[in-house]
Chain A
Amino acid sequence: MSHLEHAAGPGGFPIEAKPPLRRFHQARWDEPLIFELTQPGQRGILVPPAEPAVTEAVAGAPGELPPGIRRAAPPALPEMSQLHVLRHYLRLSQENLGFDLNVDVGQGTCTMKYSPKVNDRLAGSHKLADMHPLQHPDTAQGVLEIYWRMEQILKAISGMDRVTLQPGAGSAAIYANVSMVRAYHAARGQGDTRDEIITTIFSHPSNAACAKTAGYKVITLYPDADGYPDLDSLRAAVSDRTAALLITNPEDTGIFNAAIAEFVDVVHQAGGLAVYDQANANGILGITRAREAGFDLCHFNLHKTFSTPHACGGPAAGASCVTAEIAPYLPVPTVERDGERFFLDYDREQSVGKIRPFTGVGPNILRAYAWVMSLGAEGLRQVAETAVLNNNYLLSKILEIPGASLPYASGQRRIEQARYSWEELAADTGVHSEEIGIRAADFGVHYWTSHHPYVVPEPFTLEPSESYTKSDLDEYAAILSQVAHEARTDPGLVRGAPYNLPVHHTEHEVLDDPAQWAVTWRAYQRKHVTGTP
Chain B
Amino acid sequence: MTAHPYIPNSEPRVRAQMLAAVGAASTEEFYAAIPAALRVDGLLDLPEPFTCEADLVRHVEGLLGRNTSTRDAISFLGAGCYNHHVPAVCDEVNGRSEFLTAYAGEPYEDHGRFQALFEYASMMGELLEMDVVTVPVYDGYQASATALRMCGRITGRPVVLVTTAISADKRRKIADYLLPDMRIRDLPASAGTGTLDEDSLAAALDDDVAGVYLESPNYFGVVETGIARAAGLAHRNSSLLVVSADPISLGVLASPASLGADIACGDIQSLGMHQYFGGGQAGYIAVHDDERFVMELPARLFGLAPTSVPGELGFGDVAYERTSFAVREQGKEWVGTAAALWGITAGVYLALMGPAGMTDIGDTILARTRYAMMRLDAIPGLTVRHLPSPHFREFVVDLTGSGAQVAAVDAALRSAGIFVGKDLSSEFPELGQSILVCVTELTTKADIDRLADLLKEAIVTR
Chain A positions within 8 Å of B33 at CB level: 255-256, 258, 412-413
CA distance A115 to B341 in the complex (A): 15
Which residue from A372, A380, A382, A510 sits with its C-beta under 8 Å from B303? A510
Contact B44 A466 (CB under 8 A): no
Chain A positions within 8 Å of B414 at CB level: 136, 138-139
Kindly report which residue of chain A lies nearest to residue B411, judged by CB atoms: A136
Which residue from A69, A141, A514 sits with its C-beta under 8 Å from B254? A69
CA distance A531 to B105 in the complex (A): 33
Chain B window 8-50, contacts with chain A (Cβ cutoff 8 Å), 1 for yes, 0 for no: 1110001101110110100101111111011110011111111
Contact A353 B173 (CB under 8 A): yes
Contact B277 A65 (CB under 8 A): no
Contact A386 B351 (CB under 8 A): no
CA distance A373 to B8 in the complex (A): 18
Cβ of A349 within 8 Å of any chain B Cβ, yes or no, is: no
Contact B51 A379 (CB under 8 A): yes
Shortest CB-to-CB span from A150 to chain B, Å, is 11
CA distance A62 to B176 in the complex (A): 39
Chain B positions within 8 Å of A79 at CB level: 354-356
Contact A375 B334 (CB under 8 A): no
Chain B residues 376 to 427 lying within 8 A of chain A, measured CB to CB, are 387-391, 410-411, 414, 419, 422
Which residue from A71, A78, A360 sits with its C-beta under 8 Å from B250? A71
Kindly report which residue of chain A lies nearest to residue B317, judged by CB atoms: A511
Chain B positions within 8 Å of A441 at CB level: 105-106, 108-109
Which among A5-13, A90-98, A267-275, A423-431 touches the partner chain?
Answer: A90-98
Contact B96 A54 (CB under 8 A): no
Contact A100 B97 (CB under 8 A): yes
Which residue from A97, A211, A258, A382 sits with its C-beta under 8 Å from B109? A97
Shortest CB-to-CB span from B268 to chain A, Å, is 12
Chain B positions within 8 Å of A307 at CB level: 6
CA distance A80 to B121 in the complex (A): 18
Cβ of A20 within 8 Å of any chain B Cβ, yes or no, is: no
Total number of B residues with any Cβ neighbor in A under 8 Å: 214
Cβ of B324 within 8 Å of any chain A Cβ, yes or no, is: yes
Q: Kindly state the interface size class of chain A when it binds its partner.
A: 35 or more
CA distance A288 to B389 in the complex (A): 60
Cβ of A168 within 8 Å of any chain B Cβ, yes or no, is: yes
Shortest CB-to-CB span from A260 to chain B, Å, is 7
Contact A96 B304 (CB under 8 A): no
Which residue from A71, A215, A292, A366 sits with its C-beta under 8 Å from B255? A71
Cβ of A124 within 8 Å of any chain B Cβ, yes or no, is: yes
Chain B positions within 8 Å of A115 at CB level: 100-101
Contact B275 A142 (CB under 8 A): no
CA distance A78 to B364 in the complex (A): 21
Which residue from A107, A213, A286 sits with its C-beta under 8 Å from B104? A107
Contact B27 A89 (CB under 8 A): no
Contact B312 A30 (CB under 8 A): yes
Assuming the contacts A96-B99, A133-B275, asked whether A54 and B19 have C-beta atoms less than 8 A apart, the reply is no
Cβ of B156 within 8 Å of any chain A Cβ, yes or no, is: no
Contact A126 B81 (CB under 8 A): no
Chain A residues 515 to 533 lying within 8 A of chain B, measured CB to CB, are 517-524, 526-527
Shortest CB-to-CB span from B362 to chain A, Å, is 8
Assuming the contacts A54-B445, A168-B339, A438-B108, asked whether A34 and B351 have C-beta atoms less than 8 A apart, the reply is yes
Chain B residues 258 to 316 lying within 8 A of chain A, measured CB to CB, are 258-259, 267, 274-282, 289, 291, 294, 301-309, 311-316
Contact B34 A209 (CB under 8 A): no
Assuming the contacts A133-B275, A205-B334, A469-B9, asked whether A376 and B51 have C-beta atoms less than 8 A apart, the reply is yes
Contact A389 B305 (CB under 8 A): no
Contact B318 A517 (CB under 8 A): yes
Which residue from A146, A209, A258 sits with its C-beta under 8 Å from B331? A209
Contact B371 A98 (CB under 8 A): no
Contact A94 B305 (CB under 8 A): no
Shortest CB-to-CB span from A113 to chain B, Å, is 8
Known: A256-B33, A358-B80. 4 other contacts (CB 8 A): A61-B374, A69-B253, A74-B355, A498-B108
